[in-house]
Structure 1
Amino acid sequence: MPRGPVADFFLKDYELADYQPDEADFAREVRQVEPSGSSSALGGLVGTLAGGRRGAQTPAASPGFGGLGGAVTANLYDRAQRSEPLPKEFELFALALPIIATDPNQGPTVGMLPVGVFKEQTRITNILAPDVTYNEIAGYGAIFRLRRAFSRDADLLVDAGTSTEGNDDYQIQYRQRQVGPNRAIYYTAQFWYTTQLAQRFYGIGNETEDDAESSYVFRRTLARGLLGFELPFDFNVELSERITSYKVGPGRLDDVASTKAAFPDVPGVSDGRISILTHRVALIYDSRDSITTPTQGIFGRFTYELSDSSLGSDIDFQRFGLQLTVLIPKFKKKLTSVVNFNGWIMTGDKIPFFELTQLGGKNTIRGYGQGRFVDQNGYAINFEERWNAIQYEIAGVDIVVQLAGFIDAGRVFAEGERFKFKDTKIAAGGAVRVVVPDSELVASIDMGFSDEGSAVFVGLDYPF
């Protein structure tokens, strides 16, 4: 795609210098000829010193340099030798992929995913990945996806799609790091509206039976703002506000009971629309070598979240959270061992089930569907071994194919129930991931197995 104001906004990496047509053309010509020692013929002392050190483009050009012009041209030539000039157009790599996926709640989905990957030099700056799909529950659907990397410290995510049965997903999120005094401030702004047609609920507790399955339609509107401050010694402090509107609708599946009929007395099921405003503070320690594609280091986060009716929320509760992730590289980062722990404690009365601690899904126990086990408190621990099996280059971009094996375990607890390992839920499985280290991108397919069967999760990030 040719450069221009519009193309630059969507495709340029703003960490790189602006495109200079004259310099780029000069650099291309330089690369077509051999340097010559006759550059010492540059006129004037400055030209002689500058040109003599660097070499001129051609012997014939030497007499024409002269004086300060020789220094300027020689400096331009020096930059041309040291760095590849930016191309006149943004490079595009395009392909179309079939979609054959399955979701524990929604079942199999088939379709087509055309992908357009734009890059500047070796940096991926934009990914367009719309898709057209068919699912028995959602019907025919289409979604537009954009992942825009303005630089390593700024990115934009846009999703917009719906289906014939009303499965909606609209999201926009912007993240910016290293701004303000000492470049120590970062922030995130997000808006998300989603309608999920086949959410599942099995009741409250760690021992809910698989045959107690029910379904509901879940509508959620969320707005979130986060402000972070980088501190010395790899510590951060984050302040965030979240306002979320929820509504639970009757299930639409013929062969699964509706949650509204099966669990009418569970908080959140029959309460109509609920709005929750939370205020959260987090203390973070992060020594990882990358935020999105880490290979070594430690990540720790302690959070406190408050929802208070006197401050505008419909529900009162407090939530304490702890996450600890340790990455240990081996054999020159060919293998990476990962240990991840999450723990949650909540206090409050009549907390809606969708705000309680939930286990099951890509980020907790991958052998169960999203939110399979629900209660006030809980923990999850994950052990994962990542192997960089294949490394290759496509269109000048380094690609890593990564294989992983994992064991996940966790349990939920009622309020006041003491901590114990008995009846811990366990799952094991593997993952295939495609990693683009230089652009910090990950595409992942994780498949887990448990006593209730298997579950597959597809995403554009690591689970932890």
Structure 2
Amino acid sequence: MKRDAFPVLLECDNCDETVKVVSIPLPVIASSPNEGITAGALTAFLIHDRNDDIATLLAPQVNHNENFGVTASLYGSVYPAPRRNIEFNLSQSTKINYDYEVRLKDSTLLDQKLDLNLFGFALADGSARFYGFNAKSSQQMETNYTDQEIGYNLSVGYPISRHFQVVVGDRFRDVTIGRGAVTKVPATTDVFSVSEVPGLNGFQTHALRLSLVYSTLDQQDTPTYGGYARVTFEPTISALGGAGDYRHYEAEMKGFIPFDKARYISVFRLMYNQTLGNNVPFLEQSILGGENTLRGYGRNRFIDNSFMLLNLEQRIRLFRWEIFNVTADWEVAPFMDVGAVMESLDKASLSNFEFNPGIGFRAIVRPNIVGRVDLGIGQSGPALFVGLGYPF
């Protein structure tokens, strides 16, 4: 395909005049605790640069879900230059759901010293669930609502030494709560009152953020070795338009330990989150559950003032295979997710922790594309998640 035939958005500074484009048709079959079964098809278009790395991924998709009807979407990840990435997702369902997102990552500013991240979004999720608060919230109290949001998340990082970075950020979120799309589950507003659940009548959040980050990772998107640590303080201020005055404290550690030339990679993440304040909206509290935390449960399954989370994975490269003219690493990843929500760390109880074993299957086109299927087992049964990117 000729380079000058590309739209402006897909411009590639590192591409030849004739560009290699690979198309991969794939079925879509997914099942998660909140959404139910989704089936459809997509075609991934991979545009390569002169080094045969993927400069652009485009993935139009059409699927069907009994709760949301037909959904048409277009996902794109564009690398117009090294260290600069634009991601977008445009998705619209015939019933309730939509998702319009754009993300910019740019590490080329100030002679490649400034790390800019900007994420803007407008979405509605008619599959959202609420069970009540704390680690003992009952499965029998499952309710459904629509989470409708618009907002942005902005951060700027600056290095203060070889491995340390200071990150400042700003986050805005406007949330409206409506009736959900899953009619077999009671509506949240029919079971819980606004006095019981802060934020159930909607809320706004405007928060500033300060983080200190330490990293020795070899790559940002598909690391094979190194360590990462982050501490974050994020106050939400009512004077800036927030729902109240409350604070988030978060600490995270990750490690990647390779063996046999990175055919085996032992990975861990340890994370603690604390939310302090009065009448904190329920979606602003400390939350576990979903494809990136406790993979044996649906999103937002457990909510309280704090959470403790440990993820362990053994990523095993089974083989390296060229398919559709693209070389991919095919991985299997047995994992264990351990976590609990709690009022505070000193009130943590071993009986409240969830132990979610599972197994993941991944296809990786280095250095930036990861497709994954993760199957986790919780007390309520299995949960299956399909998506892009590593869970952590």
Same fold, judged at TM 0.5 (above) = yes
Match of 2:27 among 98, 118, 126: 98
Cα separation, 2, equivalents of 1:11 and 1:458: 29
Indicate conservation of the 8 Å contact 2:68/2:181, yes or no: no
Q: 1:415 to 1:145 in 2, by over 3 A?
A: same
Tell me how far 1:337 sits from its aligned partner. 0.4
Task: Give the Cα–Cα distance (whole angstroms) in 2 for the partners of residues 247 and 441 of structure 1.
Answer: 33
CA contact 1:344–1:379 (8 Å) conserved in 2? yes
User: Does structure 2 conserve the Cα–Cα contact (< 8 Å) formed by 1:98 and 1:112?
Assistant: yes
CA distance in 2, matches of 1:211, 1:407: 25
Q: What is the distance in 2 between the residues matched to 1:138 and 1:268?
A: 27
Any unmatched runs of 5+ in structure 1?
A: 20-85
Asked if the contact 1:260/1:269 (under 8 Å) is kept, the reply is: no
Deviation at 1:274, TM superposition (A): 1.3
- In the TM superposition, residue 120 of structure 1 has moved relative to its aligned partner by 1.7
- The answer on 1:136 being equivalent to 2:66 is yes
The whole-number CA distance in structure 2 between the counterparts of 1:93 and 1:252 is: 37
Listed one character per residue, the Cα deviations across residues 234-267 of structure 1 (whole Å, up to 9, x for unaligned) are 1111111011000111234332111111111333
Q: Kindly provide the amino acid, as one letter, of the partner of residue 154 in structure 2.
A: G
Structure number with higher strand proportion: 2
How far is 1:158 from its partner?
1.4
Q: Which amino acid aligns with 1:386?
A: R
Q: 1:154 aligned to 61, 66, 84, which one?
A: 84
- Show the counterpart of 2:158: 229
Q: CA 1:395 to 1:208, structure 2 compared with 1: closer, same or farther past 3 Å?
A: closer
Partners of 1:269 and 1:262 in 2: how far apart? 15
Q: Is the 8 A contact 1:361 1:367 kept in 2?
A: yes
Quote the residue 1:274 is aligned against: 203
Q: Provide Cα deviations, 1:399-453, integer angstroms capped at 9, x if missing partner.
A: 100110001111111258623323211100000111111x321111111011110
- Aligned-residue RMSD, C-alpha: 1.7
Is 1:184–1:231's contact at 8 Å kept on the other side of the alignment?
no
Q: 1:346 aligns with which of 240, 264, 275?
A: 275
Q: Is the 8 A contact 1:11 1:90 kept in 2?
A: no
TM-score, normalising length: structure 1: 0.81
TM-aligned CA distance change 1:214 to 1:7, over 3 Å: closer
Structure-1 residue corresponding to 2:230: 301
Match of 1:430? 359
Residue 8 of structure 1 deviates from its aligned partner by 6.9
Among 177, 185, 190, which residue is 2:107 paired with? 177
Given candidates 381, 387, 391, the residue that maps to 1:459 is 387
For residues 378 and 270 of structure 1, the distance between their equivalents in structure 2, rounded to whole angstroms, comes to: 21
Cα 1:281/1:200, change in 2 over 3 Å? same
Q: Paired residue for 1:445? A: 373
Q: 1:141 to 1:396 in 2, by over 3 A?
A: closer
1:311-363 Cα distance to aligned partner (Å, 9 max, x none): 32122110000110011101111100011111011110111111111111122
Matches of 1:422 and 1:296 in 2, distance apart?
A: 34
Higher-RCO chain (CA-CA 8 Å, sequence separation at least 6): 2
Code of the aligned partner of 2:97 = N
Q: For the structure 1 residues 331 and 415, does the alpha-carbon distance in structure 2 shift closer, same or farther, using more than 3 Å as the test?
A: closer
Q: Distance in 2 between matches of 1:93 and 1:255?
A: 42
Higher helix content, 1 or 2: 1
8 Å CA contact 1:99–1:112 kept in 2: the answer is yes
Return closer, same or farther for 1:254/1:154 CA change in 2, 3 Å cut-off.
same
**Equivalent-residue separation in structure 2 for 1:367 and 1:395 (angstroms):** 33
Q: Secondary structure at the match of 1:462?
A: coil
CA 1:158–1:391 in structure 2 vs 1: closer, same or farther (change >3 Å)? same
Q: Distance in 1 between matches of 2:200 and 2:41?
A: 38
Q: Distance in 2 between matches of 1:359 and 1:140?
A: 29
TM-score normalised by the chain length of structure 2:
0.95
Question: Over alpha carbons, which structure has the higher Rg?
Answer: 1
User: What amino acid is aligned across from residue 158 of structure 2 in structure 1?
Assistant: F
Partner of 1:240: 169
Paired letter, 1:237: V
Once the 2 structures are TM-superposed, how far is the Cα of residue 283 of structure 1 from its aligned partner?
Answer: 0.4
Q: Is the 8 A contact 1:248 1:268 kept in 2?
A: no
CA distance in 2, matches of 1:3, 1:391: 29
Report the secondary structure of 1:130's partner residue: strand
Contact 2:199 2:283 in 1 (8 A): no
Q: What is the total number of aligned residue pairs between the two structures?
A: 390
What's the counterpart of residue 109 of structure 1?
38
Separation of aligned partners in 2, 1:6 and 1:337: 40
Cα distance in 1 for partners of 2:267, 2:353 equals: 20
Q: Distance in 2 between matches of 1:232 and 1:314?
A: 37
Report whether the alignment pairs 1:3 with 2:31. no
